[in-house]
Every structure is written in C-alpha cells, then in structure tokens.
Amino acid sequence: MIDFRLDEEYEDLRNTVRDFARSEVAPVIGEFYEREEFPYEIVARMGEMGLFGLPFPEDYGGMGGDYFALCLALEELARVDSSVAITLEAGVSLGAMPIYRFGTEEQKREWLPALCEGRALGAFGLTEPGGGSDASATRTTATLDNGEWVVNGSKSFITNSGTDITRLITVTAVTGQKPDGGKEISAIIVPSGTSGLTVQPKYSKVGWNASDTHGLTFDDCRVPEGNLLGERGRGYAQFLSILDEGRVAIAALSVGLAQGCVDECLRYVKEREAFGRKIGEYQSIQFKIADMELRTHTARLAYYQAAAKMLRGERFKKEAAIAKLAASNAAMDNARDATQIFGGYGFMNEYPVGRFYRDAKILEIGEGTSEVQRMLIARELGVAG
C-alpha cells in the first residue's frame, strides 16, 4: 500500500516549525533583511527548539531524528524566509554533518554538541574565486610542518563563516599529489580565530540578505595535524557525498519558497480588486496560481522520494539531482509569477514576494547549478561519461 501521509512525529515537527515561522520569524525578518543583519535571536531560538540537532544522535547533543525531519523544518522556514532557512541548512548539512560523517570520535565530542544546540555554527570552505562548480580545481594548499597543517589560499561565498557564533570552517585543500598525478585533496578543520585566517567583509548580495556570507583567506594558517577530517586524500569524495544530501535539503528549502509564493498569492487575490472584481475571480490569475501549486506539489514529491531512498540506504544521487533541479525551477518560476500577480506591490520590499523573488535565483546556483544537476542526471542514466 502506498501512503504519502506523514507519520505523527513528522507532522508534529512540521506544525511546530510552521507555527514558529509564522509567529516569530515572519513579523520581524523583513527588517533584518533590509538592514542586511544576521538574526541572532531567531537563530538562538531555533537552537533551543533543537532544529540544528534534528538529524544527529542524542549522544552528541542531537535530537535523534533523521535528515527528512531536517527537510521538513527547512520547507516550513522557507515558506516565510529563506535567509533563516539557509542558515539552518548550511549549519547542519555543511557545518555539522561532515564532522558527524567523517570525524573521529574525539572530533565529534569536541564540536557536535555546540553545533547541535545552535550555540555555534560551522561552515564548509569549498568554492574558490576561480573554481565555481569545478571543485577539483582547488588551489588552496595545506602542507605538514612539525605536526601542523599550514594552510594557504582563499575561499568564496562561504555561508555562516563570519558570525559571532561561528566556531569552525572545514576547508578543502590540496595536500599532495596522487599516484596518477592528480591532486590529493583533503578536508581540514580550521577553528575560527586561528592566526592567519581572515574573514573578508560580507558580500553585498541580491538575496539571502539576512544570512551570513563571506570570502576567506588563509595566510600560513596553522592548525594541528589532528584537525584532518576523515581520510587524507578523500576530502573531495567526502564533500561530494555531503553535496548529495545537501541537494535534498536545498530542494526542500526551494519547495518552501515555492509554497510561500502560493500562500501569499492566495491571500492577495482574495483582497485585491481590479475593474470591480476580486482579481482571484479572473481565470488568468486562477490558471497562474494553479500552475504554481502544480510546480510546488511535484517538487515536493521529488524531494520526498529522494529523502526516502537516502534513509533506506539506497543510491539516491539521481533522485537528489532531480529534486534539486525541479524544486529550484519551481521556486524561481513561482517567485516570478507571484511578483506578476502582485503587480507594482510585488516590486516593493515590504511585501514577502519581493523578498522571495530576490532569494529564488541562488537556488538554481548554490550546491550545484542547474547545469550540474542535468549533467548528474545524464550520468546516472548512462548517457554521459
């Protein structure tokens, strides 16, 4: 029997996060967004609720849930605001998850409790100024010297890297050469405040303006040899597996934004009048909203399936790419249609759809562009090398 209803525990979580997003995030986040200010109070409340610890065992300070629980929370947050949602997504999937997946027991005990409780944030430094989607083009280096890694290089567009509660950045760096002549890329934990690590001024961004994003430079930045995360030379492969999971999370976030566009439009078309009628009475508006709901519903099913395969331990690379591609497209298309329905008001920052429009585009770029997703799908189908 096929049953798409959520278990009671998932449903309770979704309702709890939905209430939080509507009552505590929605009334104030617009002001943070316009000031380009990180919402520390909201993040602290999310930590108190256990959202940063959702997919981690209780032994490490987590909630004992799973990755799908995180996805449900991300969807509900993004229905109201994507800056808050991406702070959670990056903090969990890019900050804490690599420690949990690949760290030693000592590293897990040292870092995970604070990350799970939201008292600290972690970041992952992969992208470089000349790298973009080609992560194998890493130029940052790390060499061993008297029991320490000496890191030199730079990273770009790193989420959660410069907040007052950022505690670590996991960095991919070239640590040698493989037997085939290729780069040996490893992952190394660099604690915040380490000498030689410089957090560049925050970016001036089109969207996600209440989230934290910086470039990083490393100038003879020294950390203990024991800060190697996982196996030496496996840093790139480790991160690819983290990206597969992260794409399901970004798909959930994208679905939330798409659904938020539907929510706002449903309210607006019942109030706004044109030519003596509520605009929701016009078939052109009805069809546009129907298409928005169609995209959202389809994208949600896609990320549900990808998450289900992930939790069963099955290969889910293709499904993750499909979900990310479908959901980011839905978010972008819905944001454009919602702005059109709102007309001139949709172009004003005081209305959520204007913020949604600014936030949607990055979903087609971050954690693998739409072109990369198509490439991955083709590879999984066996029609690409």
DSSP 119-146: SSEEEEE---TTTTT-GGG---EEEEET
Q: What is the pLDDT of residue 24?
A: 97
Catalytic site positions: 367
237 SS3 class:
helix
368: part of which helix (H) or strand (E)?
none
131-164: b (≥16 Cβ within 10 Å) or e: beeebeebebbbeeeeebbbbbbbbbbbbbbbbe
Q: What is the pLDDT of residue 1?
A: 62
175 SS3 class:
strand
Mean pLDDT, each 10-residue run in order, the chain (385 residues): 84 97 97 96 97 97 96 98 98 96 97 97 92 76 96 96 97 92 93 97 96 98 97 91 94 98 96 90 96 98 97 96 98 98 91 95 94 95 82
Q: What is the pLDDT of residue 296?
A: 98
Dihedral in degrees, nearest 10, Cα atoms 262, 265, 270, 273 = -160
263-289: b (≥16 Cβ within 10 Å) or e: bbbeebbeebeeeeeebbeeeebeebb
CATH 1.10.3720.10 matches 8-121: no
Nearest Cα residue to 296 out of 356, 339, 251, 357: 251
For the domain made up of 237-380, give the CATH fold: Butyryl-CoA Dehydrogenase, subunit A; domain 3 (1.20.140)
Q: Are strands 166-177 and 121-125 parallel, antiparallel or unpaired?
A: parallel
Q: How far apart are CA 364 and CA 303, in angstroms?
A: 15
Q: How far apart are CA 299 and CA 267, in angstroms?
A: 22
Q: Are strands 183-191 and 166-177 parallel, antiparallel or unpaired?
A: antiparallel
CATH architecture of 122-235: Beta Barrel (2.40)
Nearest Cα residue to 375 out of 183, 185, 136, 133: 133
Asked if residue 341 lies in contact with residue 288, where contact means CB atoms within 8 angstroms, the answer is yes
Q: What is the pLDDT of residue 135?
A: 63
List the domain boundaries for the chain: 8-121, 122-235, 237-380
Equal fold, 8-121 vs 122-235: no
Measured between alpha carbons, how far is residue 159 from residues 16, 214, 325, 330 in Å?
A: 26, 7, 21, 23
- Overall pTM surpassing 0.85 (yes/no): yes
Task: State the sign of the Cα–Cα–Cα–Cα dihedral 113, 115, 116, 117.
Answer: positive
Asked if residue 70 lies in contact with residue 55, where contact means CB atoms within 8 angstroms, the answer is yes
Asked if residue 320 lies in contact with residue 244, where contact means CB atoms within 8 angstroms, the answer is yes
Helices (H) and strands (E) in the chain, counts: 12, 10
Q: Quick one: tokens of 361?
A: 């585009």
Conformation bin of residue 176: beta by default, left when phi > 0, alpha when psi is -120 to 50? left
